[in-house]
Amino acid sequence: MQTVKLAIAGFGTVGTGLARIIEENKDVIFARCGKKFSITSVLVRDLNKQRDYFPGPDVKFTNDLDEFTSSPDVDIVVELMGGTTVAKDIVTKALEAGKHVVTANKHLLAEHGIELFEIAAKNNVGLYYESSVAGGIPIIQSIKESLAANRIKSIVGILNGTANYILSEMSTNGLEFDTALEQATRLGYAEADPTFDIEGIDAAHKVVVLTRIAYGKDYPLAKLPVEGITRIEGQDIRFAREFGYRIKLIGQVRDVGGKLEAGVFPALVKYTLLLARVGGNYNAIRVEGNAVGPAFFHGQGAGSLPTGSAVLADIMALSKTDTPDNTGFCNAPIEKADILAPEFATSEYYFRFSVMDKAGVMAALSKCLAEHNISIAQAVQKGNPDDKEIPVVFTTHKASTKDVNSALAEIDKMPFITRKTLSMRILKG
Instruction: Report pLDDT digits (tens) over 19-49.
Output: 999 999 999 999 999 999 999 999 999 998 9
For residues 346-374, average pLDDT: 96
Helices vs. strands in the chain: H and E counts, helices first:
14, 18
The reply to whether 269 sits in an annotated binding site is no
Tell me what pLDDT residue 385 has: 67
Which ranges of 25-158 does DSSP label H, i.e. alpha helix?
26-33, 65-70, 86-96, 106-122, 139-141
Tell me what pLDDT residue 51 has: 87
| Residues 81 and 9: beta-carbon distance below 8 Å | yes
Tell me how far CA of residue 77 lies from CA of 74, 162, 341, in angstroms.
7, 28, 39
Could you tell me the maximum CA-CA distance found in the chain, to the nearest angstrom? 82
In this predicted structure, the answer to whether residue 240 has a pLDDT above a threshold of 70 is yes
Q: How many CB atoms lie within 10 A of CB 69?
A: 21
Tell me how far CA of residue 140 lies from CA of 148, 250, 296, 299, 319, in angstroms.
11, 18, 13, 14, 18
For residues 97-114, average pLDDT: 97
Q: How many CB atoms lie within 10 A of CB 207?
A: 27
Tell me what pLDDT residue 1 has: 57
Q: For the domain bounded by 342-427, which CATH number is listed?
A: 3.30.70.260
Identify the DSSP state of 78: E
Who wins on pLDDT, 1 or 294?
Answer: 294
CA distance 104 to 339: 27
Tell me what pLDDT residue 206 has: 98
Spell out a b/e string for 123-151, using b for 16 or more CB atoms within 10 Å of the CB, else e: bebbbbbbbbbbbbbbbbbbbbeebeebe
Give the SS3 label for residue 54: coil
Tell me the CB-side half-sphere exposure of residue 339, using CA atoms within 13 A: 17
In this predicted structure, the answer to whether residue 86 has a pLDDT above a threshold of 90 is yes
Among residues 206, 217, 223, 358, the one annotated as catalytic is 206
pLDDT digits (tens, 9 = 90+) for 285-334: 999 999 999 999 999 999 999 999 999 999 999 999 989 999 999 988 89
CA distance 378 to 376: 6
CA distance 279 to 355: 32
| Residues 233 and 176: beta-carbon distance below 8 Å | yes
Q: Is residue 382 among the annotated active site residues?
A: no
pLDDT digits (tens, 9 = 90+) for 189-226: 998 899 999 999 999 999 999 999 999 999 999 999 99
Give the SS3 label for residue 22: helix
The reply to whether 9 sits in an annotated binding site is yes
Which ranges of 263-360 does DSSP label H, i.e. alpha helix?
304-319
In this predicted structure, the answer to whether residue 69 has a pLDDT above a threshold of 90 is no
Q: Residues spanned by CATH 3.30.360.10 within the chain?
A: 139-299
Nearest to 38 by CA among 25, 22, 52: 22
| Residues 355 and 385: beta-carbon distance below 8 Å | no
Q: How many CB atoms lie within 10 A of CB 5?
A: 16
Assigned architecture for domain 2-128 = 3-Layer(aba) Sandwich (3.40)
Instruction: Name the burial class of residue 102, with classes exposed (0-12), middle (13-18) and buried (19+) by CB atoms within 10 angstroms of its CB.
Output: buried
Q: Residues spanned by CATH 3.30.70.260 within the chain?
A: 342-427
Instruction: Quote the crossing angle between the two packed helices 201-215 and 106-122, to the nearest 10°.
Output: 30
pLDDT digits (tens, 9 = 90+) for 145-162: 999 999 999 999 999 999
Length of the chain: 429
Tell me what pLDDT residue 52 has: 84
Q: Residues spanned by CATH 3.40.50.720 within the chain?
A: 2-128
Tell me whether strands 152-158 and 217-218 are parallel, antiparallel or unpaired.
unpaired
In the chain, the percentage of residues whose pLDDT exceeds 70 is 99
For residues 11-22, average pLDDT: 96
In this predicted structure, the answer to whether residue 384 has a pLDDT above a threshold of 80 is no
The reply to whether 15 sits in an annotated binding site is yes
In this predicted structure, the answer to whether residue 269 has a pLDDT above a threshold of 60 is yes
User: CB under 8 Å to 354, separation ≥6 — which residues?
Assistant: 389, 390, 391, 417, 418, 419, 421
The reply to whether 14 sits in an annotated binding site is yes
Provide Rg for the chain, Cα atoms: 24
The reply to whether 192 sits in an annotated binding site is no
Tell me what pLDDT residue 99 has: 95
Has this prediction a pTM greater than 0.75? yes
The reply to whether 301 sits in an annotated binding site is no
pLDDT digits (tens, 9 = 90+) for 386-408: 778 999 999 999 999 999 999 99
Task: Tell me if the domain spanning 139-299 has CATH number 3.30.360.10.
Answer: yes
- What average pLDDT does the structure give for the chain? 95
| Residues 37 and 8: beta-carbon distance below 8 Å | no
